[in-house]
Structure 1
């Protein structure tokens, strides 16, 4: 699957998640306000945060495909990681912090809401569970069918958000049922706090991954070793003094190597060797679209 097709499927996956979260957010908010349920309101904030994050992810897919220009000669591939970082921040602030607030605020109250109101709230959560589960299944299907899906921050974020949403709905339902049975708000408050902890943890993991890629992450050690082996196997190369790599996007990688050539090559031959090796690397690994060689001549014995 080429990058254009993969991005098209990712857009559809994000749009499905966005549509589900917008509908669910409204339903949770209305039910939460009507019932006065902290767990429902926490889940409403969670869905609002997810909806905003999915807008960020749609932007990331579109903007990361812009071609290189004078100001950005290596392209815009890292836009994907920037918007993924904003999505993680949104999940932390809008979802996690609001859930903490609802949980601790509820601990100061001790009132038993009506049975009818809680039944309606649980019905909303049941529908939300089905919608979030459907969105999660689609994201997981794309993750398995797309070999590059595991490296796509937009797709990974959707999977993380939908997984967190399913678990969050389950926590909210358990908290509401226990509150309804016992009449103690501490169960629902605890569910809100647990949802907050879950969101903060997932936001931290997503933010750390985006940070690593934004500041310049090398390719996997296995791929780096294979590139080094290819260079070592070239008869013109006497020694690979240094090999540096950096991910520039999902399908763009910078490879920079400092190599010593065997003695006896004139300047024209050195240039031909350089062109051949660059082409060899780019052919073996198409994502290595920026290859730079710093060539020196090894000293004669």
Structure 2
């Protein structure tokens, strides 16, 4: 006899304190990037500096991405409904993927274009306006650095590296860290151009900024992809779920355990378990309900819990492809 059992632990559409702090962090980064983008663009056009224009595109891309992240924070907290019975937690991962694409297209590609154009056009006759451009970069460094410090402070408040599980916060840290490094590279390229008269230094700086942005976009996009296609819960969470199941006196063995993240702090749990012999159907129903409540209480991340209960002999269950996690072939 096999009896499928499922349970749902209701989520909440209200913001957590961590979400509110993350929203403030994103808003601070957005305000800084909008002001910095305008200053870089004006300075870059006046000076005709490819490195400064690359940094302007970088800040514009960051600003757009922070709009995406704000949308993710708002939409991912909507409660489950008939159309999306597992909730909207993965909205967070989707908008983070769009942010990664924005960094690649608007930031990385434009920086490569500016560097290529500078190499093709050759040396500039004058570097008038470069001093003002360097001042703009200096102010940008301070603003980006302040935004990065706030983001890192938020990461520490959310448990250090564990805080980087939040794709919105992870993206802000990556953007601000890359921005600080990019501003430094642009300033060095402009300064060397002024000192030597060789535009190759500045063109190379634009290329380096493009490489940095592409690498960051690839990393963020890969993380979002893994989460969108159904990433398992972290090993610590899965281990706690297995411990709770194995501690139940009515469970003879846990034959298979599968988890999948359905949001930042939510996971779907599916387990195949064998019960001890001698339980009648009514008792099985009571035991299943109690086990699901135990898992939900002990592991708050377990938002959806499904139990596949069977009274088959343990030897037969262990040989089952479903029990071992194997998938049937064609």
TM-score in terms of structure 1 length = 0.97
Candidates 174, 183, 201, aligned match of 1:160? 174
Whether 1:236 aligns to 2:250 is yes
Per the alignment, in what secondary structure is the counterpart of residue 286 of structure 1? coil
Contact 2:244 2:298 in 1 (8 A): no
Per the alignment, in what secondary structure is the counterpart of residue 121 of structure 2? coil
Separation in 2 of the partners of 1:58 and 1:299? 52
Whether 1:107 aligns to 2:115 is no
Contact 2:270 2:305 in 1 (8 A): yes
Deviation >6 Å, runs of 4+: none
1:149 Cα deviation after fit: 2.2
**Counterpart in 1 of 2:327?**
none
Structure 2 runs not aligned, ≥5 long: 1-13, 316-330
**Counterpart in 2 of 1:175?**
189
Counterparts of residues 229-268 of structure 1 (less than 5 Å): 229-268=243-282
Separation in 1 of the partners of 2:100 and 2:172? 11
CA-based RMSD of the aligned residues comes to 1.5
How many residue pairs align between the two structures?
300
Superimposed CA distance per residue, residues 100-152 of structure 1 (whole angstroms, 9 cap, x where no aligned partner): 00001100123335454110000000000000000000000000011352211
Contact 1:24 1:47 in 2 (8 A): yes
**Counterpart in 2 of 1:73?**
85
Structure 1 runs not aligned, ≥5 long: none
TM-score in terms of structure 2 length = 0.88
**Counterpart in 2 of 1:14?**
26
Separation in 1 of the partners of 2:245 and 2:21? 36
1:231 Cα deviation after fit: 1.4
Higher relative CO (Cα under 8 Å, sequence separation at least 6) belongs to: 2
Candidates 299, 306, 309, aligned match of 1:295? 309
Contact 2:41 2:56 in 1 (8 A): yes
**Counterpart in 2 of 1:127?**
139
Candidates 175, 197, 205, aligned match of 2:219? 205
Candidates 53, 58, 63, aligned match of 1:41? 53
Structure-2 change in CA distance of 1:37 and 1:113 (3 Å): farther
Separation in 1 of the partners of 2:212 and 2:269? 38
**Counterpart in 1 of 2:151?**
139
